[in-house]
Structure 1
Amino acid sequence: MQNRPYRSALYIPGSKDRALEKARGLPVDVILFDLEDAVAPDAKIAARDTLHVALADGGYGQRLRIVRINGLDTEWGRADAAAVAAMDCDAILLPKVNGTEDVDALAALVPDKPIWAMMETPQGILNAAQIANHPRIAGFVLGTNDLAKDLNSRTRAALTTSLQLCVLAARAAGIVALDGVYNAFKDEDGLRAECTEGRDMGFDGKTLIHPAQVAITNEIFGPTAEEIDLARRQIAAFEAAEAEGQGVAVVDGRIVENLHIVTARATLAKAEAIAALETT
């Protein structure tokens, strides 16, 4: 689907049949099927088969299906990669990517699926541009909990540089960037504030740990009715100005140039893609 939305990306444990079934009916844009943190060590091997069956059964519509494996330096990682290579999913998510050599290692094991990188280590953040430009990388997922631990930081503000570096690298490489999770899943005001901050930074969406977080996240990362209306008026005014041989238009007292029209058309395309996704 062109202009695919990535507003909400919900982690779902790959070991739990009930959660995998429930995910089929959730209004999320991306499902992050997790074989790593959400699965206990003694359930990791069985989780591969559970997830394989769930994905084969389908029912997830047009949602992007990404499977997060365990790190290749763990006892489960390489077998996870081999299992995911045979699963009916859209991409594979590699945790704790420090550099392009980590991506190369996974690419050799899974030759035909897009790779997403968990950006959650200081070394990975410093190498964000090189990782983003790897030919197999399709997206970044920020692992803000692990990053904060490694940085010994206690506030979201302390992660600002890391977040912005990842957005810059993603935009330069033309890939997707998803913000990290908000841990207090019952705190709607806090979630709304952090979603707004992430959206203002330029992230495409936010990763989530609970279905209760989906509605607010979709709202914040989706275009508003006012933004859609403005986009339509900007396009109409600019096209009218062009027809009269002018290079700029004025809408609501503001200059509208071609760069604004690129954004306006992207806004409308995103709104249409969201509508299409929500009807499936």
Structure 2
Amino acid sequence: MGERTAYVPRRSVLYMPSSNERALEKAKTLPVDALILDLEDAVGPDHKEAARESACAAASSGEYGSREVTIRVNGIGTQWHEADLAAAAQAGPAGIVVPKVNSADEVRSLVTAMRDAGAPEHTRLWAMIETPSAIFNVREIASAAPELAVLVLGTNDLVKELRADHVPGRGPLVTSLQLSLLAAREAGIAILDGVYNDVKDAEGFEAECVQGRDFGFDGKTLIHPGQVETCNAVFSPSEEAVADARAIVEAWEAGAGKGVVTLNGRMIENLHVEVAQRVLATHEAVTSR
């Protein structure tokens, strides 16, 4: 299957604690593609309701420019989930992020609850994949509903559930990452890599961004504003990649549908042209922001 919708830049997707008014204000100035206003892990039990009000006010404010604003609600089965989901749906953000989605049935139930609560059509579901059950079911999850727009890898929880360790190269997670990518690409939806925990390790963070990009992720979720610039750079086509893509498309068009053309000794087929066109579309979408 191809993409369900046109490409939307989601290179950098920053978690922001909704209980922190200063953080919500600062987010308006950050060069991120998207924000996840968090009601879950970043907010203590005593602050859940206030954070919900702040997140919904921010999401409906229209003050975040081209940034895609989403709200992460508390998980299914928690005491805050239903109220979070209803309030977020009424606020109408770009997306509602739900942690620990484990099955296609849960996706369908979430979509029904969003619509029943009055979510506008542009508010999509973002499902977090962060348990062994989710990995085994990820193909069905990804294709469960047209309202599902994004899979978000919860790599910290996956490491915990697997009883694995955080190691360079993420060997223990490779199977989970690749299965999730296969599911997202088959379903034609976006997929985001998990967070990098050591905000002081710039070299390790960049290496993990490169790994995620090379695997095929659309972008990465972040926990600190200092990670945004590197993430944007890694997940944007380089000048060389854009120039090469333009040359491929031009050579193909000059060949007038011959089926195979050559460019600097390289054989160019239709699949190479499709890749080049995707690079150019990504570059145009990124630069237009």
Could you state the TM-score of these two structures normalised by the residue count of structure 1? 0.95
Distance 2:60 2:125 in 1: 20
* Mapped pair 1:128 → 2:138: yes
Q: Which residue of 1 aligns with 2:242?
A: 228
2:13 to 9, 20, 25: 9
Distance 2:264 2:27 in 1: 42
Q: Secondary structure at the match of 1:36?
A: coil
Q: Secondary structure at the match of 1:185?
A: coil
**Quick one: percent identity of the two aligned structures?**
49
Distance 2:268 2:17 in 1: 46
Distance 2:80 2:26 in 1: 26
Distance 1:21 1:253 in 2: 53
* Mapped pair 1:272 → 2:284: yes
Distance 2:13 2:238 in 1: 19
Report how many residues are paired: 275
Q: Secondary structure at the match of 2:60?
A: helix
Q: Is the 8 A contact 2:55 2:71 kept in 1?
A: no
Residue segments in structure 1 that go unaligned for 5+ positions in a row: none
State how 1:65-104 maps to structure 2 within 5 Å: 65-104=69-108
Residue segments in structure 2 that go unaligned for 5+ positions in a row: none
Q: Which residue of 2 aligns with 1:35?
A: 39
More moved, 55-64 vs 259-268: 55-64
The amino acid across from 2:156 in the alignment is N
Show structure 1 runs of 4+ deviating over 4 A.
Answer: none
State how 1:231-242 maps to structure 2 within 5 Å: 231-242=245-256
Could you state the TM-score of these two structures normalised by the residue count of structure 2? 0.92
Q: Secondary structure at the match of 2:79?
A: coil
Q: C-alpha displacement at 1:89, in angstroms?
A: 0.7
Distance 1:28 1:251 in 2: 36
Distance 1:55 1:115 in 2: 15
Q: Secondary structure at the match of 1:153?
A: coil
2:23 to 10, 19, 41: 19
Q: CA RMSD in A?
A: 1.3
Q: Is the 8 A contact 2:59 2:70 kept in 1?
A: no
* Mapped pair 1:185 → 2:189: no
Q: C-alpha displacement at 1:2, in angstroms?
A: 4.0
* Mapped pair 1:143 → 2:184: no
Distance 1:251 1:68 in 2: 47
Q: Is the 8 A contact 1:2 1:273 kept in 2?
A: no
